[in-house]
């Protein structure tokens, strides 16, 4: 019998936690956060921790939380539906411009990103559109009816930047990259989620769950584990809203991908096919699935569905390669894998400990920002992606290895 590739941590008063973390660091805080969730009475069978696991707000990033009869909004988080999209083109590396700075600047002009920038005497949010282009309004039209149903009951969400955030990147660890695979074929890869509207939905329902716990006199080891029991009005409203936000996030990535493809066509004269292979996957979400003979809810916070044959994306960092993978359908991991390398330093710690010179050296060969404003996203802030991939060799198989040559950060 083959040796299992994961370790089991027993939790007093809770279900076991199966850890795919061999060869990668796991801080004590993440173990404690996992244990607290494992003690909730509605956790189904066991929990699974991916090799990129680290402390998160509300719940551990890199965790798979199966539940029966309840959902924990903070275990999904506020960037609902955050995920990845990648598309292979028919271009080769030699078709790219000799100077990639021009290409990066063109992508930055085509996709609103970041927080704000001063232009002339005024100030505009570069993370939003002014007048959304036709493709943005067309995409929003496919979502607006369901959104109106949500805002009929929760009018507070009407004031979010829902339309003007469609097709925009955001900030933090969100990015757009141009990559080369093992055959020097050009890929476009991007990472983003449901933007301001998803944040508003997540934040509101997390607080609503906390209020419910206080109303019902339910004491929790951590108020971020506040939950909605299945069958309640708030459970139904949350699941409806969160699934809508997941659809917004997936469509948001598609709109951005279209913008980047059009940009490449403007910069590169050679005709090319743009979507030879396409992957679009969430890694912050909840879904109804069937595992171990039962229908359950699976919350993945910083984890990707890796059912047998299902394609996924596992990015590294600004200076480390990424992977297109195919799921192996490992039942013990609830058919999941990591969503990336996972942080080994907090954003504050990275800014204190990593110098600009180190960042520049670690991103050599990548056309990207090389300033102090991105030190919280520097490669040293993340776990070694090769070790992360080795720890989950029984969860996914590697299909393509991608090395970025251009990286746009929010």
Options 46, 113, 339, 400, the catalytic residue:
339
CA–CA distance from 161 to each of 74, 140, 176, 219, 246 (Å)?
22, 12, 21, 35, 16
d(CA 332, CA 354): 37
Determine which helix (DSSP H) or strand (DSSP E) holds 165, and give its type and residue range. helix 162-165
The contacts of residue 223 (CB under 8 Å, 6+ apart) are 210, 213
Cα–Cα distance, 150 to 201 (Å, whole number): 10
Cα dist from 189 to 92, 99, 281, 307, 409, whole Å: 15, 20, 12, 21, 12
Residue 141 parent element (H or E): helix 134-141
Q: With 0-12 CB in 10 A as exposed, 13-18 as middle and 19+ as buried, what is 357?
A: exposed
Q: Which residues pair with 343 in a beta bridge?
A: 382
Tokens 């232009």 belong to which residue? Answer: 119
Tell me which residue has tokens 């973390």: 21
Task: Give the span between the Cα atoms of 77 and 80, in whole angstroms.
Answer: 6
- The CA-based diameter of the chain, rounded to the nearest angstrom, is 70
Is 291 a residue of the active site? no
Name the CA dihedral angle for 94, 100, 106, 110, rounded to a multiple of 10 degrees.
70
First to last CA, the chain: 47
Alpha-helix runs per DSSP H in 312-384: 347-353, 356-362
Those residues with Cβ within 8 angstroms of residue 366's Cβ, 6 or more apart along the chain or in another chain: 318, 319, 404, 405, 406, 407
The catalytic site residues sit at: 339
């Amino acid at each position: 019998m083959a040796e299992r590739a994961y370790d089991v941590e027993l939790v007093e008063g809770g279900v076991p936690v199966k850890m795919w973390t061999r060869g990668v660091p796991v801080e004590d805080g993440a173990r404690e956060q996992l244990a607290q969730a494992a003690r909730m009475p509605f956790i189904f069978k066991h929990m699974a921790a991916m090799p990129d696991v680290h402390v998160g707000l509300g719940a551990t990033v890199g965790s798979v939380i199966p539940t029966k009869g309840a959902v924990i909004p903070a275990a999904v988080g506020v960037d609902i539906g955050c995920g990845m999209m990648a598309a292979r083109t028919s271009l080769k590396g030699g078709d790219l411009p000799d100077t990639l700075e021009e290409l990066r600047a063109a992508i930055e002009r085509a996709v609103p990103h970041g927080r704000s920038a001063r232009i002339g005497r005024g100030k505009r949010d570069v993370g939003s559109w002014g007048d959304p282009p036709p493709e943005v309004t067309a995409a929003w039209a496919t979502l607006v009816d369901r959104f109106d149903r949500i805002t009929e009951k929760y009018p507070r969400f009407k004031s979010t930047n829902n339309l003007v955030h469609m097709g925009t990147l955001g900030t933090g660890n969100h990015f757009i990259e141009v990559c080369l695979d093992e055959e020097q074929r050009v890929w476009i890869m991007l990472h983003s989620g449901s933007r301001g509207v998803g944040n508003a939905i997540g934040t509101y329902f997390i607080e609503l769950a906390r209020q419910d716990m206080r109303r019902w006199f339910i004491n929790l080891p951590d108020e971020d584990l506040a939950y909605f029991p299945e069958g309640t009005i708030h459970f139904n409203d949350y699941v409806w809203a969160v699934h809508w936000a997941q659809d917004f996030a997936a469509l948001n990535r598609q709109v951005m991908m279209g913008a980047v493809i059009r940009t490449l066509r403007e910069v590169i004269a050679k005709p090319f096919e743009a979507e030879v292979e396409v992957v679009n996957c969430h890694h912050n979400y909840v879904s109804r699935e069937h595992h171990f003979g039962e229908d359950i809810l699976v919350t993945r916070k910083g984890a990707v569905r890796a059912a047998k044959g299902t394609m996924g994306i596992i990015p590294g960092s600004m200076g480390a390669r990424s992977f297109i993978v195919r799921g192996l359908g490992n039942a013990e991991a609830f058919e999941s894998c990591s969503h990336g390398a996972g942080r080994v330093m907090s954003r504050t710690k990275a800014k204190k400990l990593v110098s600009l010179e180190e960042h520049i050296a670690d991103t050599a060969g990548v056309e990207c920002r090389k300033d102090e404003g991105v030190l919280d996203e520097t490669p040293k802030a993340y776990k070694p992606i090769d070790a992360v991939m080795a720890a989950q060799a029984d969860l996914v198989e590697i299909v393509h290895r991608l090395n970025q040559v251009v990286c746009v950060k929010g």
